[in-house]
Structure 1
Amino acid sequence: MTERETPTTHAPEPHPEGLLVLAGTPIGEVADAPPRLAGELAEADVVAAEDTRRLRRLTQALGVRTGGRVVSYFEGNEAARTPELVEALRTGSRVLLVTDAGMPSVSDPGYRLVAAAVEAGVRITAVPGPSAVLTALALSGLPVDRFCFEGFLPRKRGERRARLEEGAEERRTLVYFESPRRLAETLRMMAESFGPERRAAVCRELTKTYEEVRRGSLEELADWAEPGVLGEITVVVEGAARGGPVRLEPAALAERVAVREEAGEHRKEAIASVARELGLPKREVFDAVVAAKTGSGKGQAG
């Protein structure tokens, strides 16, 4: 008579090398959490979280307990905490990095740790999850074949305006994060830099109870946002010269050229830049500049 072996459940075997796991977390609806997230939270030796209190609420909602040590990893302690986490990775630990919402490193803590892990030769993988950038793009109704993510704009008005002017000629669809407190002002600046008729979408509280997507021209959206807007905001803006040329009054065209001249561009270059930005013939912009100088309704070629 042979003895029957009793099946046993074994814990996951330790990795021979350290592994850094970047995990996406829900941007609103907890049910959107990637299926692998619960397992990673349970198996990680170290969980580095942007906000440990939010992590606790997430694990409770998912019905999972973290199996390893939990440490905070946010903007204020990234520099100090990174060497500690890299050392844990070097000694064979599995480190899971999560932020409050979305993917680590995308306008959230993470880039510094990833760069240090790469430098140390540590393996890195990701658990794909929800992304406000891609969700807003998909809902915007604007071209998504080519796009660029600009993150948060500077808080100071001058720096913000300069950043927007840099993007005025970008032909790809642009995606920005913005504070609800600055939204109306930023949309006004965008209308000035990109043209008031440039199409855009303001995506608010994505996947949450009060989700809202507003589509229209930058001027229309600025008017809508003027009374005040609440929630987390993602702004998607059409690229330059998409959807046909933007028609402005001659005085507005001349003003755009003047702004570029004040920034150091020669007039010829400024005219060409404005024409390219708006998808207009250079002659039309040139005539507008001449008209502004002579005070006439129509400039003459010189």
Structure 2
Amino acid sequence: MTSEPAAPHVWLVPTPVGNLGDITVRAVEVLRGCGAVACEDTRRTGALLTHLGISKPLVRLDAHTMHRAAQVLEQHPRLAYVSDAGTPGISDPGAELVQAAVAADVPVEVLPGATAFVPALVLSGLPNARFTFEGFLPRSGRARKERLAAIAARSETTVLYESPHRLGDTLSDLAAACGEGRAASVTRELSKRFEETRRGPLSELAIHFARGVRGEIVVVVAGREAGQTLAGEEVPDHPALARTWAGEGRSAREIRELLIAQGLRKNDAYALALQVTQTR
């Protein structure tokens, strides 16, 4: 591939999450022109390369062998890296390879291409101007509880991945943390024959998927609405707070912003701020 530099180079190449037709022309060109392909599963990647009519040396470089990244770069200086599906480095190995290449002063390119969470986010119909990508949640313990609480509290949409056999439990945990009526969606088998997106309150989704499903899964959860109280959370006494701030000599504008930060709706905060400042 004459357009690529002869010097050492690393490419992170997205591969289809389902439909093999989603491979890009540039991805095929890079896979044809590289010296070797590193991957999570040599059998799976070998089948993809055979489908594309490409023959390259394959090197296993997954979560268990990524500590060999620097050594692999020495052996194969013009290296393409693919995960089993989607973009490497996004809830898949790959970030460590980038770090090793940067440390060795080897140029790195990440090709645009397939990923699961972006289509699922758009399909959810939920606000997507701002969102947080959580990847996979911890399976248990304090770390899981803290992540669930963070999802419940944030105002922007949250996107996360989950395995089929843990989906029902995760939806139930999300319903308990966020409230049963919090809007959400579950997308599975993106770009495949049995692709499905189901939207609804977390409680209904938890019931529907309680028995588990097959396929790769993306869960999208709406953000917390202003003024929504979560389980176990004390409700602020907004009038008392407003009177206290007014007694401190704060302006109506300052009080309004403080009330909004406490979860009060904008219109209600504005009316209360005016009330307490006018009656001082």
Whether these two folds match at TM > 0.5 is: yes
Q: Does 1:38 align with 2:21?
A: no
Counterpart for residue 38 of structure 2: 48
Evaluate the alpha carbon distance shift between residue 278 and residue 184 of structure 1 in structure 2; reply closer, same or farther with a 3 A threshold. farther
Q: 1:256 aligns with which of 201, 223, 232?
A: 232
> After the TM superposition, which residues 88-237 of structure 1 pair with which residues of structure 2 at under 5 Å, given as runs?
88=75, 93-237=77-221
* 3-state SS of paired residue (2:233): helix
Q: Aligned equivalents of 2:183 and 2:93: distance in 1?
A: 31
Quick check: 1:240–1:277 contact (8 Å CA) kept in 2? no
* 3-state SS of paired residue (2:153): coil
Q: Aligned equivalents of 1:86 and 1:71: distance in 2?
A: 11
Size of the aligned set, in residue pairs, is: 241
Evaluate the alpha carbon distance shift between residue 28 and residue 13 of structure 1 in structure 2; reply closer, same or farther with a 3 A threshold. closer
Runs (4 or more) in structure 1 with deviation over 6 Å come to: 275-278
Offset of 1:120 from its aligned partner? 2.0
Q: Aligned equivalents of 1:54 and 1:60: distance in 2?
A: 10
Question: What letter matches 2:49 in structure 1?
Answer: T
* 3-state SS of paired residue (1:236): strand
Question: Normalising to structure 2: TM-score of the pair?
Answer: 0.79
Q: Aligned equivalents of 2:23 and 2:181: distance in 1?
A: 37
Offset of 1:127 from its aligned partner? 1.9
Question: Normalising to structure 1: TM-score of the pair?
Answer: 0.74
Offset of 1:164 from its aligned partner? 0.6
Quick check: 1:240–1:279 contact (8 Å CA) kept in 2? no
Q: Aligned equivalents of 1:189 and 1:278: distance in 2?
A: 25
Q: Aligned equivalents of 2:75 and 2:40: distance in 1?
A: 18
Q: Deviation string for 1:259-289 (max 9, x for gaps)?
A: xxxxxxxxxxxxxxxx9899557xxxxxxxx
Question: What letter matches 1:84 in structure 2?
Answer: Q
* 3-state SS of paired residue (2:144): helix
Q: 2:71 aligns with which of 69, 84, 105?
A: 84
Consecutive unaligned residues in structure 2, runs of 5 or more: 235-258, 266-280
